[in-house]
Structure 1
Amino acid sequence: MALTLVRHTTPQVAKGTCYGRTDLALADSFATEADTVLASLPDPGLLVSSPLTRCRTLAAHIADHLSHEIVVSEHWIEMDFGLWEGVPWAAIPRDQIDGWAEDFHHFDGHGGESVAMLERRVRAGLESLADNALVVTHAGCIKAACAIFGVNDGWDTDVPFGGMITLG
Structure 2
Amino acid sequence: MPAFTIWRHPRPRGAEGRCIGGRTDLPVDPRKAKRLAHRIRAHARRQALPREVVTSPLARAADVGRWLKRWGFVWQVDPALAEMDFGCWDGRPWRAIAAGEFDRWMNDFCGFDFDGGESLAALLTRAAAWTPRCALAVGHGGWITARHWQGGAVPTPSSWPPPPGYGRPTASAPSAA
TM-score (norm 1): 0.82
Asked if structure 1 preserves the Cα contact closer than 8 Å seen for 2:68 and 2:75, the reply is no
Query: Following TM superposition, by how much is the alpha carbon of 1:80 offset from its aligned partner in structure 2, in angstroms?
Result: 0.7
- Which consecutive aligned stretches of 4+ in structure 1 deviate over 4 angstroms post-superposition? none
Alignment coverage as a number of residue pairs: 161
Task: Name the SS of the counterpart of 1:56 in structure 2.
Answer: helix
Q: Does the alignment pair 1:119 with 2:124?
A: yes
Query: Following TM superposition, by how much is the alpha carbon of 1:9 offset from its aligned partner in structure 2, in angstroms?
Result: 0.7
> Taking structure 1 as reference, are residues 157 and 4 closer, same or farther at Cα in structure 2, changes over 3 Å only?
farther
Asked if structure 2 preserves the Cα contact closer than 8 Å seen for 1:12 and 1:24, the reply is yes
**Deviation per residue, 1:95-132 (Å, 9 max, x gap):** 1112212221111143211011111211222xx224x5
> Taking structure 1 as reference, are residues 79 and 158 closer, same or farther at Cα in structure 2, changes over 3 Å only?
closer
TM-score (norm 2): 0.79
> Paired residue for 1:50?
56
> Paired residue for 1:79?
84
Q: Any unmatched runs of 5+ in structure 2?
A: 153-158
Q: Does the alignment pair 1:129 with 2:132?
A: yes
Q: Which is helix-richer, 1 or 2?
A: 1
Whole-Å Cα distance in 2 between the matches of residues 27 and 11 of structure 1?
Answer: 7
Q: Quick one: percent identity of the two aligned structures? A: 34
Task: Name the SS of the counterpart of 2:149 in structure 1.
Answer: helix
